[in-house]
Amino acid sequence: DFMKPLFAVDGVIKVYKTRNDIEQARLISPTHYQDALHAVLAHKTSADFLLTRNIKDYVGCEHLVKIKFPENI
C-alpha cells in the first residue's frame, strides 16, 4: 500500500470539487476535462506538481500546476 507513508505524515490533502472547478476544467479542455479537473484541484491545494504518464492530455493546464512524468521528480 504505497499511500500509507503519505497518510502517516499528513501528506495527503483531501479536496472536494465544486461546480466552478468543473466549469473551469471544461473551459480549459472540453475534450479532456477530467484531466483538466485534476489540474484545477491540484492548483486549488497548492500542489507542487501533478504526476502523469499522459502529459498530452494536460495541454493548457501548465498555468495551474507543473505536469511531470513520475521519473522526473
- pLDDT tens per residue across span 40-62: 999 998 888 899 999 999 999 99
The three-state (H, E, C) secondary structure of the chain, written as one string: CCCHHHHHCCCCCCCCCCHHHHHHHHHHCCCCHHHHHHHHHHHHCCCCEEECCCHHHHCCCCCCCEEECHHHC
Which pLDDT does position 1 carry in this prediction? 54
**pTM for the whole structure:** 0.81
